Amino acid sequence: NAGVMQNPRHLVRRRGQEARLRCSPMKGHSHVYWYRQLPEEGLKFMVYLQKENIIDESGMPKERFSAEFPKEGPSILRIQQVVRGDSAAYFCASSPSLSFYNSPLHFGNGTRLTVT
Q: How far is the CB of 16 from other proteins (least distance, A)?
A: 28
Q: How far is the CB of 28 from other proteins (least distance, A)?
A: 17
Q: How far is the CB of 104 from other proteins (least distance, A)?
A: 4
Which CB atom, from 14 or from 42, has the smaller least distance to other proteins? 42
**CB proximity list for 28: less than 8 A, separation 6 or greater:** 96
10 vs 52: CA distance, rounded Å: 26
Q: Where are any strands of DSSP class E within the chain?
A: 5-7, 10-13, 19-24, 31-37, 43-50, 53-56, 65-68, 75-79, 88-95, 106-107, 111-115
Which CB atom, from 19 or from 46, has the smaller least distance to other proteins? 46
Which CB atom, from 4 or from 82, has the smaller least distance to other proteins? 4
Binding site for other proteins (CB under 8 A): 4, 33, 35, 42-45, 48, 55-56, 91, 93, 98-102, 104-110
